[in-house]
Amino acid sequence: MSKRMKWSLVAAGVGIVAIAAVTMAANKGPKATEVRVEAVSKRDLVASVTASGQVQPHTKVNLSADISGRIVRLAVKEGDIVREGQFLLEIDPRQFDANVQRTEALLAAAKAAAAQAKASWEQAERSYKRSVEIRKVNPGLVSDDQLEQLRTTAEVNKELFNAQEHQVDQTAASLKDAKWQLSRTTITAPMSGRVTRLNVENGETAIQGTLNKDAATLLVISDMSLLETKVKVDETDVARITIGDSAIVQIDAFPDTTFLGKVVKISNSSVKAANATGSSTDQAIDYEVTIQLINAPKDTRPDFSATAKIITSTRKNVLSIPIIALTVRENEELQNKDTTVAMGSKQQPAKQVGKKDVEGVFVVGTDNKVTFRPVKVGIAGEKYFEVVSGLKEGEKIVGGTYQAIRELKDGALIKEAPAKDAKKPAEKKS
């Protein structure tokens, strides 16, 4: 082996040792966390509250009977369009018609008795006055006892006549009630609309709705020209909704179409769950929000299931960050500035009074190291937060994954994940 060859082998060995040393040193250094990096950019954001409910007509009437009886005529069926005053059904009127005739006879008898009592009173009154005149001419012809008796008879007959007059009034009132009951046997439409529910058939017995309104409901007429959906909104979201907010409503019966609406009413009291007890404290608290539909189709029916997306706020061309990028970290120790006391040229350290958690993001530096920076956010869109302060457009931040952000620490080394793992933003970029 020549001398030159020996030196070549020595140089190669030294190179291999150097490469191995560099590799070992690199492996011993800090390991980079794979994250998704996203630049702070401007977007149009829409804040919304989503809730579900059912479609209902704004105006509907539940018709029930004021009297009990068998239905002898039914002129409508479910789905029919009716006009105000149109005949709907009739309850057997024979019993009530007979009651009217009987009361009319009683009224006639009462009037006859009143006329008879009036005649008797007038006759007694004339006899008394004639006796008074005779006594004035000849006091001896009519005694005091006779005159007193005639006066008493006239007064009694007058009161009997008054009693009969009251009897006439009472019987007339009974006749009026009997005629009202007879009129209740014919039920007409109180408003124009569609018969959206028909609970009875011809021949069934209608009952009064005093004690059981639901069971007594004969049919329902709804004005389908103005529809609305009542949705239940959680207590954490209802404060963000105001009267007049626009909404996008999707009706399950029309899956490929969305409809516009606006908030017209927000309940002041909560809607408790049907199966919740009065003493329960862990039940969900919901409030009923009424949304008026603007362009509902004609085929819409009551009780259709609907989902409403209520637009509570919008922002145009604002800085935004992914919702997943916002995290919470413990801030530096708070210090009470008032406890710093000057002593000569030195100051005593301030008194520690506590620590505070702040929201922020991890900003990526040029050396691929991250720095936690507090950020103030505004409204929340579907996937992005509005940035109020703390970031500038173009700055790179850690945008995922959730697991990586949760475990990331200030000053950690990161490496960007392949582009194929990045998700497309939900909001439209400007």
Give the tens place of pLDDT for each residue, 251-290.
Answer: 999 988 899 999 999 999 988 754 455 555 567 789 999 9
Q: Tell me what pLDDT residue 132 has.
A: 85
* CB 363, CB 327: distance < 8 Å: no
Residue 337 has pLDDT above 70, yes or no: no
CA distance 69 to 59: 28
CATH 2.40.420.20 fits 33-45+317-421, yes or no: yes
The more confident residue out of 147 and 2 is 147
**What percent of the chain shows pLDDT beyond 70?**
81
- 118 pLDDT above the threshold of 60: yes
Model pLDDT, residue 143: 84
For the cut 80, the answer to whether the pLDDT of residue 18 exceeds it is: no
For the chain, domain boundaries: 33-45+317-421, 93-184
| 69 φ/ψ angles, rounded to the nearest 5 degrees | 170, 170
Pick the more confident residue, 333 or 369. Answer: 369
Percent of the chain with pLDDT over 90: 59
pLDDT beyond 70 at 5:
no
Q: Is the pLDDT of residue 141 over 60?
A: yes
Model confidence pLDDT, tens digit, residues 231-243: 999 998 999 999 9
Averaged pLDDT, 39-54: 93
**Is there a contact between 359 and 327 (Cβ–Cβ < 8 Å)?**
yes
> What gap in Å lies between CA 404 and CA 421, rounded to an integer?
14
pLDDT recorded at residue 339: 40
pLDDT for the residue numbered 410: 85
Helices (H) and strands (E) in the chain, counts: 6, 24
pLDDT in tens, 146-203: 888 888 999 999 999 999 999 999 999 999 999 999 999 999 999 999 999 999 999 9
Q: What is the pLDDT of residue 341?
A: 40
Residue 164 phi/psi, 5-degree rounding, is -65, -35
pTM: 0.66
Distances in Å between the Cα of 17 and the Cα atoms of 24, 84, 270, 388 are 11, 102, 76, 55
User: How far apart are alpha carbons 206 and 370 in whole angstroms?
Assistant: 77
Asked if the peptide bond before residue 401 counts as cis, ω within 30 degrees of 0, the response is yes
Give every CB contact of residue 45 below 8 A, 6+ residues apart in sequence.
Answer: 314, 315, 318, 320, 379, 380, 381, 384, 386, 427
Q: What does pLDDT average to over the chain? A: 84
DSSP 253: T
Instruction: Give the least confident one: 51-65, 260-274, 326-340.
Output: 326-340
- What is the arithmetic mean of pLDDT over 23-34? 62
